[in-house]
Amino acid sequence: MRQVIVAANWKMNTTPADAGELARTIAARTREPGVIRVICPPYVCLSAVRHALVDDDLLAPDGIAVAVGAQNVHHEPAGAYTGEIAASMLAGLATWVIVGHSERRRDAGETDELIGRKLRAARAAGLRTILCVGEQLDEREAGRAEAVVDAQVRGCLAGAELGSLGVEDGLPWLTIAYEPVWAIGTGRTARGSDAAAMADAIRRTLAALGIPNGGEGVPVLYGGSVTSGSIGEFLAEPAIDGALVGGASLKPDEMAGIVARAGLTAAARRATGPGRPLAAPSA
């Protein structure tokens, strides 16, 4: 039984002066059992957010705290890389990290091979990782969406040197976010069935790469301009395990609605899932 995860990507928003209070407000309003909550603020706000979330009153009823994640990480452990942050530098600040976001691919020219090296660095530092993949509009219209995402997953895991990632354990530290680039900030929306089909395709790729259980233990999130109004369509699909939320994650009302819906999915899985669920890594 895969975990249900809602991750908030604040992108280049908030400051250390206001990030902590926003994180506390969101945490207090999203205390749903069975939902792993992750907030990914800008680097300069990591400390403020982490300190703001230590209060036991913000724990979900099942005792799970809101986790903190970074939005990016460098692929080298140290060196002359001005302005960059190594995975080891996140110790004590974050337990999750996003790699391969479409905006990093677009704005920083990140390739699958480079993203794979970041994946390996994050794994070595013990970070749970959200790997983002997704196609452009012209690729979908040409009928190449699944082929593009398949190539991204393969390329990133090849760049990470798959054999060094602990494949035999089923990659319990890995989550994949499917973000159709054409549905991010464009006003266009994907359908739940589109996302579910892609999640199935991603797990076929993982199975082809030799991941135990055919990749069934790897959560797949949807990340394409998710809102409280649209999340239900995606979480109604058994193949989708949550969301990577962008702009809506800065709005407590939106996050409350999204996590509430995710809580229903988590409850349904507990009620109907196998008696012995997959081992879940710590949040």
> What pLDDT sits at residue 224?
83
pLDDT-based confidence at residue 12 (cuts at 50, 70, 90): very high
Which comes out higher in pLDDT, residue 169 or 109? Answer: 109
CA dist 97 and 70 (Å) reads 5
pLDDT-based confidence at residue 189 (cuts at 50, 70, 90): confident
For residues 182-189, give the mean pLDDT: 78
For residues 170-182, give the mean pLDDT: 94
pLDDT-based confidence at residue 274 (cuts at 50, 70, 90): low
Dump the DSSP string for 112-128: HHHHHHHHHHHHHTT-E
CA dist 244 and 193 (Å) reads 17
Which residue reads 């995975």 in tokens? 87
pLDDT tens by residue, 192-247: 999 999 999 999 999 999 998 888 999 999 998 899 999 999 999 999 999 999 99
Kindly report which listed range (159-163, 186-190, 203-207) carries the lowest average pLDDT score: 186-190
- Give catalytic status of residue 179 as yes or no: yes
> What pLDDT sits at residue 283?
56
Report the percentage of the chain scoring pLDDT > 90.
86
Task: Record the pTM.
Answer: 0.94
Give 176's strand partners: 131, 220
> What pLDDT sits at residue 184?
81
Nearest in space to 114 (alpha carbons), one of 102, 105, 103, 127: 105
CATH class of the domain whose range is 19-100+109-271 = alpha beta
Nearest in space to 63 (alpha carbons), one of 252, 251, 283: 283
Q: What is the mean pLDDT of the chain?
A: 93
pLDDT-based confidence at residue 96 (cuts at 50, 70, 90): very high
CA dist 144 and 127 (Å) reads 32
Q: Catalytic pick from 32, 103, 139, 179? A: 179
What does the domain layout of the chain look like in residue ranges?
Answer: 19-100+109-271
Report the percentage of the chain scoring pLDDT > 70.
96
**pLDDT beyond 60 at 188:** yes
Instruction: Give the SS3 label for residue 10.
Output: coil
**pLDDT beyond 70 at 276:** no
- Give catalytic status of residue 101 as yes or no: yes
**pLDDT beyond 70 at 68:** yes
Q: Catalytic pick from 101, 103, 110, 135? A: 101
Which comes out higher in pLDDT, residue 177 or 1? Answer: 177
